[in-house]
Amino acid sequence: MTLRHSSRRQFIKQTGLAGSGFLLLTPFSWAKRPLAPATPLHNIPAEKNLDPKWVRSLYERGRPGTYYKSRNELKYIGMPAGGLHAGTVYLGGDGRLWLWGIYNDDREGVDPKTVLWNDGTREVPVRNRDGANYVEPTIADNKRVLAQGFAVMVKTGKDTLIKELKEGDWEEIRFEATYPVATIHYSDPGFPLAVVVKAGGIFIPLDAENSSLPCTIYSIQLKNNTHQRLQAYVTGWLENGAQKITAKDGEGRKENTVIRDERSVSIYSVFKAEQEDVRRRRDAGSTCLTYIGTDATANTNAHPWTLTTALFAKTNERPSTGDATEKLVGSITTLSAIEPGKTAELNFVISWHFNHPLQKLNKLKEVSSGNGYYFGAKYKNAAEVSAYVAAHFKQLHSQTLLWHQTWYDSTLPWWFLERTLLNTGTLATANTYRFANGRFWAWEGVNACEGTCTHVWQYAQAMGRLFPELERDARQRTDLGIAMSADGGIIFRAEYEGRPAIDGQAGTILRIYREHQMSKDDSFLKNNWEQIRKATRFMLAQDKNGDGLTDTPMENTLDAVWEGEIAWIAGLCIAAAKAAQRMAEEMNDQAFAALCSDYVQKGCRNMEQHLFNGEYFIHRPDPVQGRKKLGSYNTCHIDQVYGQSWAFQAGLGRLWDQHKTLSALRALWKYNFAPDVGPYIQTHTGGRPYALAGEGGMIMNTNPKNEPRPYGDNVTWQLGYFHECMSGFEHQVASHMMAEGMTDEALVLTRAIHDRYHAAKRNPFNEIECSDHYARAMASYGTFITACGFEYHGPHGYIRFAPKWNAANFKAPFTAAEGWGRYEQSAKGEKCIHTITVSYGKIVLRTLSFANTTGKTVAVTAGNKNIPAKLSRNKTDVIIELQDTATIASGQSLIISIT
């Protein structure tokens, strides 16, 4: 059943979407507790009783997701606002920065704590990695480590009005949650200026270097709403953040210094320490406040102060010092004369530089060498960072805003674009690092579960599309290098483990193929082919009986070693073998391609014959062990067709039977998705609280047959995972449903996650699993990929689009190996027009493919130049072959008209 708008009535009837409405209100715990002795009955309703109008509304373009002071929706907001791998600095709902997780703190999560939560049977402790920050979200006002902010003063006749850009000073504040740049509106009927702030880090896809700068940009716009000329002052301030955490009196002095050049005015903040051990502490470094421009005054010692005219008028550009524990604040003030109806724009940069990696990671040679982080190798201190940004401000800021505009200038719903991109902010937190030698490294969640874990990070689709150079380096340097065993096994935590994980092994092979596709040529594939073959052979060897279904007990992402033939693991290996086959064909390694092809054919055939129970795919027990150990067996598991989901991400096409796959996805919808998970988690205890009563979600693993001992005879603590809603897995299923045409279900599931992270309840930018900003949640980008029906192969010059709805009027962004831009598809009379516009870099194309298109003749133009092309068709697509390879540069469009 294809669930498009044309079949919505049938869909509502068959799946029970009619009813009073989808309850997505507002959190669940686990700590290796004893499991309930009896097997509870399956209690997820097959009829979802969703309001059809609500479901239809999910397709609407809508408006940017906006949170309001008047609705008490600002206190939890924390948008990662710095560069990639530069620590965690949050932009709060009222525009102030908070958390300041830049001091190389090794505590787990953004707010280490244990809370108590009632799981329906009793009150249990919940640690950070178990969902503490989901149950009791961190509040911005409790984590303001550094004094920082902006204030505006306006003189109107005899009156002087002053307001700080914070929640308490304005009648209304609106926060538009559009990562990577948020827009904050401040309004008050008694204030003559409309104030709008655009803030965030520098974020330019395909430019990992500039996107990794440890800084935040503030662009402050002041609009004169009166009929008279106004004198408006803006003051920004920042506390000296050097040695903020560890310094003690007598160990040194804080110092603020003014730096002026032809582009900017800065206050540079350091800590002058005599002892070497003090200079080596984790918070030894510098901060800097910079104004882009020269028409500003500075005050190196602006604290203590109150919001009076003195704050704006006082100037002290001599260096100021303070005791180690004293708060030393510097400020910069600008004056603008604004004509009636006109707007002034003022730009500030806040930068930091703390180049001391966590000592708990000393096992990494990048840490033990003492060379520090990538930004530390590029810049000596925060002042150098700010100077670089000031020198290139127009380019860096405009390209960030260009990406922001390109991403959101789409026919896709605002909420959908927000949820599928914002998890990328994980890269701009202390969850990830880039060391001085350029190596990318990460936790699973902030400071939890080390080693860029293969079986977690292989779900994340965002970085491979937005910053492919980082993923290529991680594959080559770590997975095929440091982590590669002699037998081809990829140690799933590299230096922090000694064994591979089977799902991580397969997922890494798939990522290698994706990284090849996101390259401009085949050098990455050629340079690593022998290691890729080796890794693939190891994976193929885990099929002991030769039926194409891996059956070797090995670690998986659910932290257990399962026995038997497991649909989701076997299917993932089949998809990886298909990817290896494609790579072998490109390398003209026909023997290896044939080996992989044989594995794929046998595996698909046996998946269908032996692992499909007539409704969904299962786990066939080991013939010797039986169901003695933990497993999913005849239950309905969230990842059961994950291999096919990955295949769509990598353009591998259909693997096994489509009807059986659709049946499995419908079973997940029927048995695992709950509009309100409350009744389920109250009876199925032992899981962690990643969705709570009143919230919707897809349960990891359910027992719809109500079998006794469904998960094995001797279950272990990992069974708790089965009763949870982990958003990374949910995003994976949503992306697969989208690819298969189950658009209603895909959007409902994605929206369920989106609403669980509404700002009224918790931080919208922090999807939590095992600690904060969990990497697996970046699977959300995959749902965007499948909504566009996007495929790409850079070395082949191939691109494809197949919008899943609104094909007659569709627009969405895309990224390629060397450039990014937007794709538009429209129908005009008998013509279907496809336009690829490059906004940044360039894109090289030879073959284009489009679904939802009819026609027999084609005309291709770029600028005023006609490009000879040939049109052909397959079962689903129109295929356009250009006579010669075309290079479309920034600002140019390729237009394909099919009649």
Q: By the 8 A CB rule, do 591 and 661 touch?
A: no
How does strand 230-239 pair with strand 148-156? Answer: antiparallel
Section 110-121 average pLDDT: 92
Give a three-class secondary structure readout of 854-877. CCCCEEEEECCEECCEEEEECCCE
Question: Residue 675 region, left (φ>0) first, then alpha (ψ -120 to 50), else beta?
Answer: alpha
Per-residue burial over 203-242, b = 16 or more CB atoms within 10 Å of its CB, e = otherwise: bbbbbbbbbbbbbbbbbbbbebeeeeebebbbbbbbbbbb
- Check residue 175 and give its pLDDT: 98
Section 674-701 average pLDDT: 96
What is d(CA 506, CA 494) in angstroms, rounded to the nearest whole number?
Answer: 16
- Check residue 304 and give its pLDDT: 62
Tokens of residue 412, six digits: 């896709």
What is d(CA 511, CA 468) in angstroms, rounded to the nearest whole number?
Answer: 10
How many Cα atoms occupy the beta-carbon half-sphere of 769 within 13 Å?
27
What is d(CA 345, CA 244) in angstroms, rounded to the nearest whole number?
Answer: 32
What is d(CA 86, CA 429) in angstroms, rounded to the nearest whole number?
Answer: 7
Per-residue DSSP letter, 90: E
Write out pLDDT tens, residues 202-214: 999 999 999 999 9
Q: Indicate the pLDDT class of residue 828, thresholds 50, 70 and 90.
A: confident
What is d(CA 356, CA 269) in angstroms, rounded to the nearest whole number?
Answer: 17
Question: Residue 437 region, left (φ>0) first, then alpha (ψ -120 to 50), else beta?
Answer: alpha
* Residue 128 exposed, middle or buried by CB count within 10 Å (0-12, 13-18, 19+): buried
Write out pLDDT tens, residues 709-762: 999 999 999 999 999 999 999 999 999 999 999 999 999 999 999 999 999 999
Q: Indicate the pLDDT class of residue 863, thresholds 50, 70 and 90.
A: confident
- Check residue 618 and give its pLDDT: 98
Q: Indicate the pLDDT class of residue 559, thresholds 50, 70 and 90.
A: very high
- Check residue 119 and give its pLDDT: 87
Section 102-129 average pLDDT: 93
Partners of 848 in beta bridges: 799, 880
- Check residue 43 and give its pLDDT: 97
Q: By the 8 A CB rule, do 841 and 95 touch?
A: no
Higher-pLDDT residue of 159 and 583 is: 583
Section 195-203 average pLDDT: 98
Average pLDDT, the chain: 94
What is d(CA 608, CA 567) in angstroms, rounded to the nearest whole number?
Answer: 10
- Check residue 777 and give its pLDDT: 98
| pLDDT surpassing 70 at residue 24 | no
Instruction: Name, in order, each residue with C-beta under 8 angstroms of 503's C-beta and a sequence gap of 6 or more.
Output: 455, 458, 556, 557, 568, 569, 572
Angle between helices 567-586 and 642-649 (to 10 degrees): 30
What is d(CA 677, CA 680) in angstroms, rounded to the nearest whole number?
Answer: 5
| pLDDT surpassing 50 at residue 28 | no
Type of residue at 227:
H
| pLDDT surpassing 60 at residue 21 | no
Report the range of poorest mean pLDDT among 113-122, 503-512, 550-559, 745-754: 113-122
CA distances, 85 to each of 88, 110, 355 (Å)? 8, 15, 12
Write out pLDDT tens, residues 324-371: 999 999 999 999 999 999 999 999 999 999 999 998 999 999 999 999
- Check residue 120 and give its pLDDT: 82
How does strand 798-801 pair with strand 831-851? Answer: parallel
What is d(CA 169, CA 66) in angstroms, rounded to the nearest whole number?
Answer: 19
Write out pLDDT tens, residues 464-476: 999 999 999 999 9
Q: By the 8 A CB rule, do 661 and 646 touch?
A: no
Section 570-592 average pLDDT: 98
Partners of 153 in beta bridges: 162, 233
- Could you list the beta-strand ranges (E) of 492-606: 554-555, 561-562, 565-566
Q: Indicate the pLDDT class of residue 829, thresholds 50, 70 and 90.
A: confident
| pLDDT surpassing 70 at residue 403 | yes
- Check residue 274 and give its pLDDT: 86
Helix residue ranges per DSSP H, 258-411: 276-279, 309-313, 365-368, 374-378, 382-391, 393-408
Q: Indicate the pLDDT class of residue 818, thresholds 50, 70 and 90.
A: very high
Which residue carries 């770029």 as its tokens? 862
- Could you list the beta-strand ranges (E) of 92-158: 97-101, 115-118, 123-126, 148-156
Q: Indicate the pLDDT class of residue 446, thresholds 50, 70 and 90.
A: very high
Phi and psi (nearest 5°) for 264?
-155, 165
